[in-house]
Each structure stands twice: as C-alpha cells, then as structure tokens.
Amino acid sequence: MPRITLAVLGLALFVPATHAAPALKDRKDEDAARIVGQWAQESMSSRGGEPIPPRQSSTFRFNSDGTCGITTGTSESPAQYTLDLSRSPRQLKWLHGPTKTEWLCVYELEGDKLKLAFVDSGTEPLKKIEPAKNLTVYYLKRIKD
C-alpha cells in the first residue's frame, strides 16, 4: 500500500509542474508591449516624501525601440530604457539625456498604471515601490488615444 501512495503523490507533484508560469522571455515581451505608449504623470514622491501632484504637466512616451521621450512643458528630454525581469521587483536600466546618464529603476506595471522609481546611485532598490529616502517615484497613468 505505501508504494501506491508514493506513486500517487509523485504523480500529484508532477502534474502542477506541467502548468508552470510563463517563460521569462514571454513576460519580457508582454511588459515590452504593455509599456509602449504615452503616460501622464499623476504625482511624484521625492526621497521619501508623500506623493504630490506635479508642478508642470509631464508625459513619458515609451517607444517599442527602447527610446523614451519625457516632455515637461514645451521641452522634451530623450532617454533609452532596457527591461530586466530577472529581478523582483522588475527593473529597467535608464539612460537619460544627451550624456546618457545611467539610472537603475524599478517599476510596477498594472493595467493603465505605471510606477517608475529611480534608485539613488550606490543604493539597493527596495522590494516594494513606495516612498523611500533612496527613491524618486513617478506615478503615471496611460493616456488613451
């Protein structure tokens, strides 16, 4: 009788493994497609402060080729981004401005909401995106066409 129990237990352990989570590449492709578009800044938290509305209207325009334009008022700043889903929370490498200054960012993308947190140089990103002394967090909402 113990042999049958072990065989059934082994089968029970095997079956869920066949329904594994999507491959990392699939998740990256999904996020890459979902992040593309125009995003309006709803609020911002700087280095641990409570989220506040922006002084000026800002938009982020993520393109499928890994470029991004940030428009504040009438000026636009160029940036490039690369998604990294091998980390939790998800990360992206951000190259900003003409000199391509590198920033580590963590992000959460849920529906039409995007939290984009820039991590201060020399510090580790937190496990959860919330106001913290080493983060500047942008709270963005998708602009629908």
Question: Is residue 10 one of the residues assigned to a domain?
Answer: no
Nearest to 138 by CA among 122, 114, 111: 114
Domain membership of residue 28 (yes or no) is: yes
Produce one character per residue of 75-107: b if its CB has 16 or more CB atoms within 10 Å, e if not. eeeebbbebebeeeebbbebbbeeeeeebbbbb
Domain coverage including residue 116: 23-142
Residue 29 lies in a domain: yes
Q: What is the CATH number of the domain that holds 127?
A: 2.40.128.10
Whether 116 and 107 have beta carbons less than 8 Å apart is answered as yes
Q: Do the domain assignments include residue 17? A: no
The answer to whether residue 40 sits within a structural domain is yes
Residue 64 lies in a domain: yes
Question: Letter for the amino acid at 31?
Answer: D
CA 42 – CA 7 distance, rounded (Å):
56
Q: 8 lies in a domain?
A: no
Per-residue pLDDT for the chain (145 aa), expressed as one digit of tens each? Answer: 454 443 333 434 444 444 454 554 555 568 888 999 999 999 988 887 777 777 777 899 999 999 998 998 888 888 999 998 788 788 899 998 778 888 889 999 999 999 999 988 888 777 888 888 888 899 999 998 7
Tally of domains within the chain: 1
Dump pLDDT digits (tens) for 86-119.
887 888 999 987 788 888 899 999 999 999 999 8
Instruction: Identify whether 77 is part of a domain.
Output: yes
